[in-house]
Chain A
Amino acid sequence: MKLELQGITKRFGPLVANDAIDLVVEPGQIHALLGENGAGKSTLMNVLFGLYTADEGTILLDGQERTFRGPRDALAAGIGMVHQHFMLVPVFTVAESVMLGHEDTRGGGFLDLDTARRRVRELSDRFGFGLDPDAVVEDLPVGVQQRVEIVKALAREAKVLILDEPTAVLTPQETDDLIGIMRQLKDAGTSIVFITHKLREVKEVADTITVIRRGAVVGSAQPDASENQLAELMVGREVSLGLDKAPPTLGDVTFVVEGLTVRDSTGHTAVDGVSFSVAQGEILAVAGVQGNGQTELTEAILGVLPADAGSVTLAGRELVGMSPHDILAAGLGFVPEDRKVEGLVLDFTVGENLVLDRYDTAPFARGVGLDLKALRRNAQERIAEYDIRTQGHGQEVGRLSGGNQQKVVVARELSRPLKLFIASQPTRGVDVGSIEFLHRRIVAERDAGTPVIIVSTELDEVAELADRIAVMYEGRIVGIVAGDTPRSVLGLMMAGVPLEEAREQAREDAEPEDGAPGTPVDTGTTSTSATGDEQ
């Protein structure tokens, strides 16, 4: 189906989120939408999907003007959408989530769960997602929730498919699979609007690219443009992709984890006797496929999950058994993997969210009250420093664009003196310009002598930041390797292959083809066999 948007304008109060945007998506075309955080991409797609009503402009499908009073109309017209922020009911099972809204029934309105389960299994097998139809959504790691959200949209067999940052939490392997799916759909005539901040995905799959900045279309590009050109078009200035960080100056080893064992909420051992240590002035990246215990590891360090065994010491102090409040007060900065659930209070203002873990200390506490002036000053400083696009510090954080919400969380955690910094997916959904900034900020924290742990499924990010890399598989650390370890080796380790064997195998794999043994694969490709079979 051919999709045309003409002169779409959407305002939120004084803010013009979309300013007379024109966009044409041909049938069977993959149209990438690029733009920095807060540019108005999600807003535009929400208008198209009927969630927002445009102030001006028209939507044409196959040349016919359409008005959508709600998503119901858009769905009926054949539009499907994967939302940037998951639209999944936490207490539903995967099968229930996928069937919701277009349920199979046995007649009389009785749900046919068997058919729904079968459908989930079929789709999930076809795309290699390995979903369990009976798993409850809220127990799933975000990466798996993302797959559920994708399957949900695919099950509808839309003719126009909107994908709003579907790859933000996927592993490279999963991203490759998704790109394969997109090609399949495209060949079948589906028009796809694809939003992402990862330029190489755009280059790999897009037929054409439209760039928007501050609500307006600023240009279009072809997929053969270089990443630097695209980044520049997006941000409006030159962006240096790739971070040249100095080698670390290691201080004392102040953070030590020994034999840590943690069970997840279902009683299953998620972290199994993990030991490692991080020195001051060092970044340790924890790599691995989602759901191999990384989440539970960080949550146990923070104290929200009790440790079954083992010890965690920070500057000689035992953290196991302490409350999260005390652990944070002891100097831990923590960026959780899911900003909306654990990182922010969405109804609070940006200013309030920026002091969530410091409201009770100077300079924000004044007796039993808050020093609102200090709060405002802090907010203004952070907003300027991190370039958070908001209508002001008094705006509700839930109204910010996804990437800007992420910046609020990182800004808060890095805004106080730290003895340890742990960040899960620190740049999830953040645009290239801001990734550059956040990475520099994290390295600066390291150079100030803080031990840093980065948990990321993004191998680019791992390669960029890590001084050492710990690879986790099924709750154990497969090995801890140097920061410049080739991706091919990391990929094998992420599938559970021990370090030595992984080196061997990677060498063998590389030799017959091009005889370039063990060199790091260049960032432009994703085709490592990174994940293997995690189910």
Chain B
Amino acid sequence: MTATDVAPARPAPSAAVVGRTVSYKVPVALGVLGLAALVLFGLLGPAGETTTFGVSGASDLVRIDPLELPSRATAVVLSVVALLLAAYSAVVARASREVPVWLVTVFGVVWVLAFLTWAVAGKSTSLVSLLQGSLLLAVPLAFGALGGLLNERAGVVNIAIEGQLLTGAFGAAVIGSVTGNAYVGLVAAPVFALVIGAMLALFTVKYHVNQIIVGVVLNVFAVGLTSFLYGSVLKEDAARLNSPPRLEVLPVPGLSQIPVLGPVLFRQTIIVYLLYVAVVVVSVALFRTRWGLRVRAVGEYPQAADTVGIDVERTRWHNVLLGSAVAGLGGAFFTIGSVGAFGEEMTAGKGYIALAAMILGRWSPVGALTAALLFGFADKLQQVLGVLQTPIPNQFMLMLPYIVTIFAVAGLVGRVRGPAAAGEPYEKG
């Protein structure tokens, strides 16, 4: 029943057709997960234990007592709720409608809570710091994804996010350290990443080299260059060159006092606030302004853009540079935003996860942020549970962020269509 069989050039616009035929894939998946939760976390869970969730931090004005929940009963209740949601999704599917995103989301939250209640049984953990940490870990991913989508919306695939994060991290550390000012380091990060962006633009936009290949090469180049400089220069004089101050936490007056959400969202460093601003600005710019309309035209059908007088090459140059700067800002998180000093290959593949976040977020800034938060949460959860000594082997927990990535991209994304001309060089006749 695929339309692609006869339309090799472009799948016929029949996305809705797929949604119309009754498909029980989602309800079945949710049902199986729900049952697994009921059996593993509920019925087979430890009897007589309590799970303690902290919901406010030490410095909050309004202190809320930690929630103490009977582990097994709570997990059973949550699993049943999850199963009810799965049943409702079956009803929706039977009416030949697509299972709504909110339903899957709520299911996910409930399921994870059931899992947490089980994993933390007999111990205690703070929900606030779990969420706070998730947001923090999502920062480089979200910046990377934003940088990626700025490129792809203009028709240039950006595999080089990883390299841009890495050079950004490096630049922030070195410049922050030399000047002794984290904020100068923060400004330096995008400037360093621009080097990678400029090379990407030069080879792909000007010389029409394959975008994927250039991206991969630039990543290797960034690793090589930063590792070399680290080994030969930074290590020699670490005190001067690689001991940047860290960005301080700046609580937003008032807002940071809101219970639970306040500390999570508004007791962060400036880089997190910059992320909020960036997501809003990029969303509005892409979808509400002349600039955005033109960028999207270039990414979808460059020839059409050209025929109405839009300079395709210049648009792509601008966007590749802008995108790399945004990604570079995310790189600053690794050094001045968290540990301080730069370390070899410290981005550890986060650039690729950012790419996944961009796709999962369907090339929209808000979507990319949401996806980044999901991956950030998986990462933080892994860290927290690793410390707590849960019944799950630690090695497995280390896999968690990546498993979530694969399932999210494969399962939730389904049929999405990125900018049609992404990856295609534009050559005039």
Query: Interface segment, A18-26, A183-191, A215-223, A302-310?
Result: A302-310
Query: Interface segment, B117-125, B257-265, B272-280, B284-292?
Result: B284-292
Contact A102 B14 (CB under 8 A): no
Q: What's the least CB distance linking B235 to chain A, in Å? A: 47
> Is B16 positioned at the interface, with any CB of A under 8 Å from its CB?
yes
A305–B307 Cα distance when bound, in Å, is 33
Q: Can you give 12 A-B contacts (C-beta < 8 A)?
A: A52-B428, A72-B310, A88-B304, A89-B305, A90-B300, A152-B308, A265-B17, A305-B14, A306-B1, A324-B6, A341-B9, A342-B6
Contact B289 A110 (CB under 8 A): yes
Tell me which of A49, A92, A111, A323 contacts B1 (CB under 8 A): A323
Query: Which B residue's beta carbon lies closest to that of A326?
Result: B5
Contact B289 A306 (CB under 8 A): no
A342–B15 Cα distance when bound, in Å, is 16
A75–B296 Cα distance when bound, in Å, is 21
Contact A109 B290 (CB under 8 A): yes
Contact A96 B293 (CB under 8 A): yes
Q: In the complex, what residues of B have CB within 8 A of residue A111's CB?
A: 288-290, 293
Query: Which A residue's beta carbon lies closest to that of B302?
Result: A89
Q: What's the least CB distance linking B197 to chain A, in Å? A: 23
Q: In the complex, what residues of A have CB within 8 A of residue B296's CB?
A: 89, 91-92
Q: In the complex, what residues of B have CB within 8 A of residue A334's CB?
A: 6
A357–B306 Cα distance when bound, in Å, is 33
A302–B291 Cα distance when bound, in Å, is 41
Q: In the complex, what residues of B have CB within 8 A of residue A46's CB?
A: 429
Q: In the complex, what residues of B have CB within 8 A of residue A135's CB?
A: none
> Is A481 positioned at the interface, with any CB of B under 8 Å from its CB?
no
> Is A325 positioned at the interface, with any CB of B under 8 Å from its CB?
yes
Contact B300 A89 (CB under 8 A): yes
> Is A51 positioned at the interface, with any CB of B under 8 Å from its CB?
yes
Contact A51 B428 (CB under 8 A): yes
Interface residues of B in 294-347 (CB under 8 A from A): 294, 296-297, 300-301, 303-311
Query: Which B residue's beta carbon lies closest to that of A322?
Result: B1
Contact A356 B8 (CB under 8 A): yes
Contact B306 A100 (CB under 8 A): no
A99–B293 Cα distance when bound, in Å, is 9
Q: What 0/1 readout, one digit per residue, does chain A (89-112) give for beta carbons within 8 Å of chain B?
A: 111100010011111010011110
Query: Given A263-B20, A267-B16, do A89 and B290 touch, yes or no (CB 8 Å)?
Result: no
Q: What's the least CB distance linking B425 to chain A, in Å? A: 12
Contact B301 A90 (CB under 8 A): yes
Query: Which B residue's beta carbon lies closest to that of A46?
Result: B429
Q: What's the least CB distance linking B289 to chain A, in Å? A: 5
Q: In the complex, what residues of B have CB within 8 A of residue A265's CB?
A: 13-17
| Complex A-B, nearest 3 residue pairs according to Cβ-Cβ distance, in ascending order | A101-B308, A72-B309, A87-B304
Given A90-B301, A102-B308, A356-B8: 15 more A-B contacts, CB < 8 Å: A51-B307, A70-B309, A71-B306, A72-B309, A75-B308, A89-B296, A89-B305, A90-B420, A101-B310, A105-B289, A109-B289, A323-B5, A324-B5, A342-B6, A346-B9
Contact A100 B294 (CB under 8 A): yes
A89–B293 Cα distance when bound, in Å, is 11
Contact A52 B1 (CB under 8 A): no
> Is A384 positioned at the interface, with any CB of B under 8 Å from its CB?
no
> Is B3 positioned at the interface, with any CB of A under 8 Å from its CB?
yes
Looking at B306, B307, B420, which has the most chain A CB atoms within 10 Å of its CB?
B307
> Is B12 positioned at the interface, with any CB of A under 8 Å from its CB?
yes
Q: In the complex, what residues of B have CB within 8 A of residue A89's CB?
A: 296-297, 300-301, 304-305
Q: What 0/1 readout, one digit per residue, does chain A (144-172) give for beta carbons within 8 Å of chain B?
A: 00000000100000000000000000000
A346–B291 Cα distance when bound, in Å, is 30
> Is A344 positioned at the interface, with any CB of B under 8 Å from its CB?
yes
Tell me which of A51, A139, A336, A344 contacts B306 (CB under 8 A): A51
Contact A92 B13 (CB under 8 A): no
Contact B297 A92 (CB under 8 A): yes
Q: In the complex, what residues of A have CB within 8 A of residue B13's CB?
A: 90, 138-139, 265
> Is B7 positioned at the interface, with any CB of A under 8 Å from its CB?
yes
> Is B415 positioned at the interface, with any CB of A under 8 Å from its CB?
no
Query: Which B residue's beta carbon lies closest to that of A267?
Result: B16
Query: Given A88-B304, A102-B308, A265-B16, do A306 and B297 touch, yes or no (CB 8 Å)?
Result: no
A382–B105 Cα distance when bound, in Å, is 56
Q: In the complex, what residues of B have CB within 8 A of residue A88's CB?
A: 301, 304
> Is A345 positioned at the interface, with any CB of B under 8 Å from its CB?
yes
> Is A440 positioned at the interface, with any CB of B under 8 Å from its CB?
no
Tell me which of A71, A299, A305, A336 contacts B308 (CB under 8 A): A71
Query: Given A105-B290, A109-B289, A304-B12, do A87 and B17 touch, yes or no (CB 8 Å)?
Result: no
A111–B285 Cα distance when bound, in Å, is 10
> Is A368 positioned at the interface, with any CB of B under 8 Å from its CB?
no
A324–B3 Cα distance when bound, in Å, is 8
Contact A342 B1 (CB under 8 A): no
Q: What's the least CB distance linking B19 to chain A, in Å? A: 9
> Is A83 positioned at the interface, with any CB of B under 8 Å from its CB?
yes
Tell me which of A76, A103, A323, A340 contacts B293 (CB under 8 A): A103
Q: In the complex, what residues of A have CB within 8 A of residue B12's CB?
A: 299, 304, 341-342
Q: In the complex, what residues of A have CB within 8 A of residue B420's CB?
A: 90-91
Q: In the complex, what residues of A have CB within 8 A of residue B306's CB?
A: 51, 70-71
A299–B1 Cα distance when bound, in Å, is 12
Contact B300 A91 (CB under 8 A): yes
Contact B309 A76 (CB under 8 A): yes
Interface residues of B in 1-31 (CB under 8 A from A): 1-3, 5-10, 12-17, 20-21
Contact A304 B308 (CB under 8 A): no
Looking at B290, B306, B308, which has the most chain A CB atoms within 10 Å of its CB?
B308
> Is A493 positioned at the interface, with any CB of B under 8 Å from its CB?
no
Looking at A72, A138, A139, which has the most chain B CB atoms within 10 Å of its CB?
A72
> Is A525 positioned at the interface, with any CB of B under 8 Å from its CB?
no
Query: Given A89-B300, A325-B5, do A110 and B288 touch, yes or no (CB 8 Å)?
Result: yes
Contact B307 A71 (CB under 8 A): yes
A133–B307 Cα distance when bound, in Å, is 21
Query: Which A residue's beta carbon lies closest to that of B16?
Result: A265
Contact B289 A49 (CB under 8 A): no
A183–B13 Cα distance when bound, in Å, is 37
> Is A81 positioned at the interface, with any CB of B under 8 Å from its CB?
yes
Q: What's the least CB distance linking A344 to chain B, in Å? A: 7
Q: In the complex, what residues of A have CB within 8 A of residue B310's CB?
A: 72, 100-101
> Is A266 positioned at the interface, with any CB of B under 8 Å from its CB?
yes
> Is A328 positioned at the interface, with any CB of B under 8 Å from its CB?
yes
Contact A267 B5 (CB under 8 A): no
A108–B291 Cα distance when bound, in Å, is 10
A357–B7 Cα distance when bound, in Å, is 11
Contact A266 B16 (CB under 8 A): yes
A52–B6 Cα distance when bound, in Å, is 32
A183–B283 Cα distance when bound, in Å, is 44
Q: What's the least CB distance linking B21 to chain A, in Å? A: 7
Q: What 0/1 readout, one digit per residue, does chain A (332-350) give for beta carbons within 8 Å of chain B?
A: 0010100011101110000
Interface residues of B in 234-292 (CB under 8 A from A): 288-291
Contact B301 A306 (CB under 8 A): no
A111–B290 Cα distance when bound, in Å, is 6
Q: In the complex, what residues of A have CB within 8 A of residue B10's CB?
A: 341
Contact A52 B301 (CB under 8 A): no
Interface residues of A in 95-136 (CB under 8 A from B): 96, 99-103, 105, 108-111
Q: In the complex, what residues of A have CB within 8 A of residue B17's CB?
A: 265, 305-306
Contact A302 B6 (CB under 8 A): yes
A81–B429 Cα distance when bound, in Å, is 17
Q: What's the least CB distance linking B253 to chain A, in Å? A: 30
Looking at B5, B6, B297, which has the most chain A CB atoms within 10 Å of its CB?
B6
A324–B7 Cα distance when bound, in Å, is 10
Q: What's the least CB distance linking A508 to chain B, in Å? A: 43
Q: In the complex, what residues of A have CB within 8 A of residue B290's CB?
A: 103, 105, 109-111
Tell me which of B20, B288, B291, B311 contacts A72 (CB under 8 A): B311
Tell me which of B1, B6, B289, B301 contacts A87 (CB under 8 A): B301
Tell me which of A90, A99, A105, A341 contacts B7 (CB under 8 A): A341
Q: What's the least CB distance linking A261 to chain B, in Å? A: 13
A76–B311 Cα distance when bound, in Å, is 14
